[in-house]
């Protein structure tokens, strides 16, 4: 498995809303964060949900987002973060 992103790299979640079984939470699409960890490689749940074999396995990352990014009206501490496990095909390098 070749991982496209390294720990510490800034990434953006695709701003996409396809049908089907999608494990990327709705609220985080289009938001930017930083790769906190590599979780491993797993079969693609979107393909498996359609009856496919999910291969090739896809890298899964733990991506850390500021709560103020996830929720524009977040009233807590500005340093608070949320970690979300996101597959590589849902990530792109942060633009700009």
Partner 1 sequence: MADGEEKTPRGYHDLGGHPAGPVDRSEHVLEPWEKRVDVLCGILVDRKRRLMTIDERRDAIEKLGEDAYNSLKYYELWMAAALKLVLEKGILTRDEIDGRVDEIRARLGLEAGP
Site residues for partner 1 per CB under 8 A: 15-21, 25-28, 30, 45-46, 48-51, 54, 70-71
Q: Which is nearer to partner 1, 11 or 28 (CB)?
A: 28
Q: Which is nearer to partner 1, 8 or 18 (CB)?
A: 18
Q: Which is nearer to partner 1, 8 or 72 (CB)?
A: 72
> Do the Cβ atoms of 6 and 35 come closer than 8 Å?
yes
> Do the Cβ atoms of 64 and 36 come closer than 8 Å?
yes
What is the smallest separation between the CB atom of 80 and partner 1, expressed in angstroms? 14
Sheet holding 10-13, edge to edge: 81-87, 58-66, 32-42, 10-13, 91-93
């Amino acid at each position: 498995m070749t991982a496209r992103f390294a720990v510490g790299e800034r990434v953006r979640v695709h701003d996409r809303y396809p049908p089907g079984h999608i494990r990327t939470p709705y609220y985080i699409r289009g938001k930017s964060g930083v790769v906190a960890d590599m979780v491993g490689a797993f079969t693609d749940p979107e393909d498996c949900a359609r009856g496919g074999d999910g291969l090739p396995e896809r890298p899964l990352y733990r991506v850390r987002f500021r709560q103020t990014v996830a929720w524009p009206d977040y009233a807590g501490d500005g340093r608070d973060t949320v970690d979300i496990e996101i597959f590589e095909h849902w990530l792109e390098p942060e633009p700009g």
